[in-house]
Amino acid sequence: MNKPCAIALALLALNGPAFAGDDSPAPTTAAKPAAEAPQTLPLEDLRTFVDVFERIRASYVEPVDDRTLFENAIRGMLSALDPHSAYLNENDYDDLKAATTGEFGGIGIEIGMDDGILRVISPIDDTPAAKAGLQAGDYILKLEGKVVKGMSLNQAVEIMRGPIGQPLKMTVQRKGKEPWDLSIVRGRIETSSIKVKQLEPGFAAIRITQFQTHTGRDLVRELTKLRDNTANPLKGLVLDLRNNPGGVLPAAIDVADAFLDKALVVYTKGRSEDSIQRFEAAEGQVIPGLPLVVLVNAGSASASEIVAGALQDQHRALIAGTTTFGKGSVQTVLPISEKKGIKLTTARYYTPNGRSIQAEGIRPDVVLEAAKVQVLGGYDAFREADLRGHLSNPNEKDKAPAVETPAVVPAEPAKPVEGKKRKKGKAVPEVVSTPADSDATEDKSATAAPKPLSEEDFAMYGALNLLKGALFWQAKLPVTAPVEEKVDVAP
């Protein structure tokens, strides 16, 4: 038997069980027209595939093994379906599991590159790295005997991650000390996708960077801390979903559940009529009635849009920012072996009101574009208190008598420092501390005034102002019953 025929028979054998499954009718098959009967393999196209396979194998400029050709064929078959379906080899499969679960085998440090050398930004508490005594500012010179200088950050991370229980050998140097060798046994590292920031007294922001397996649990924990902080009672919250690419569907349900009370969150619909799955929030909220603003942008996708759409349709939050990405499909990871799998689009999802946001996105209730605020100066404010002989304020009996306000004299422009030239129209750059001079600049950085929120993050500043307004108008809004179900949507 020649090789093309052997390959054709192998493909037919691999597809045999699928044919058998299709021949047994599904519960809804009887109601379907004859045109939807199970299809057979297109033998002519199969012969074309085998012919192309043999031509590549025989004539390509460099030899390619059969495994690579088959994997490339599978990749092409999936990637041609839509932008989100994909073939996952062993590395892709491991990366996806680490990203969605937030767990991996490692030593537990945040790292960065400093002039080509790996620097420890911070060891994570209660991890092997922290227990081994690694400190912020330490330099990692070697990993498994390989010099780190010249590696990319991803290459270094790939070496540092590995099976739980397996030691990682490294050479470390600390400022003022000689390098030393260290062996740290890898453990299970769990990362958190939740970050909390106090905006003002009574107002906080919770940023979700990605929807991982434990995101809902971590969110409830942080909300509970904010709720129980009696010294600084929470008046309003910003849920920041900007640039959140999504994640696992159960995490999105858990996040919405924290703010909803017995209401529909989302439902999915696949090819068959009986494929509708409904996901609802349980009874109770972590902080009932708390004014809530959800901040989104064009980088908010998938699971982020599920949360935003649910809170918008259920009238639980005000959505602010810009229109979201518009990914309205659900992908399912289907294992094809212990180390490989495929990520396949299996359904579309719909918000409680029956909206599909596929290629449209969630439109915000209030548009907040990313912007920079510039204070307009050049004039002096002139008020009633500046008028000669103005009446005093009766509420301030102890106030000193009004005096004539002296004329405002413009400040003399600052003189340039000798020996240094300053370009016209450009500010003198701030001193950026490095590990070598951090001690010398510590006092200066401690006294440097932080940027106001309006300059640091204008969209967040706008969301904060919306929250302050919500303290007045939210209680006056009409009570709307939660949306229960609406599934009369075309497939």
CA angle in degrees (0–180, nearest 5) for 284-285-289: 120
Would you say 352 and 264 are in contact if contact means Cβ atoms under 8 Å apart? Answer: yes
Query: CA geometry: angle at 121 spanning 117 and 124, to 5°?
Result: 130
Burial of 86 (0-12, 13-18, 19+ CB in 10 A): buried
* Strand 292-296, strand 236-240: pairing: parallel
Q: Which amino acid is at 220?
A: V
Assess whether 327 carries a catalytic annotation: yes
| 448 phi and psi angles, rounded to 5 deg | -65, 130
Cβ pair 162, 186 in contact under 8 A: yes
* Options 85, 193, 327, 457, the catalytic residue: 327
**Exposed e or buried b per residue across 168-203, where buried means at least 16 C-beta atoms within 10 angstroms of its C-beta:** bebbbeeeeeeeeebebebbebbbbbbeeeebeeeb
Within 8 A by CB and 6+ apart from 161, the residues are: 98, 104, 105, 106, 186
Closest CA to 350 of 275, 254, 243, 239: 275
Contact (CB, 8 A) for 341 and 97: no
Counted residue by residue, the chain has a size of 491
Q: Exposed/middle/buried for 349, CB within 10 Å: 0-12, 13-18, 19+?
A: buried
SS3 267: strand
Residue 136 to residues 22, 73, 321, 349, Cα–Cα distance (Å): 59, 46, 36, 44
Distance CA 36, CA 59 (A): 40
Side chain identity at residue 326, one-letter code: G
Q: Is 82 a catalytic residue?
A: no
Please confirm, yes or no, whether 302 is among the known catalytic residues.
yes
Closest C-alpha to 486, from 355, 303, 357, 329: 355
In the set 85, 193, 302, 304, the catalytic residue is: 302
Helix (H, G, I), strand (E, B) or coil at 141: strand
Between CA 95 and CA 106 the distance in angstroms is 13
Phi, psi dihedral angles at 228 (to 5 degrees): -85, 0
Residues 6+ apart with CB under 8 A from 482: 260, 261, 262, 263, 264, 314, 352
The Cα 325–Cα 243 span in angstroms is: 9
Catalytic residue numbers, as ranges: 302, 313, 327
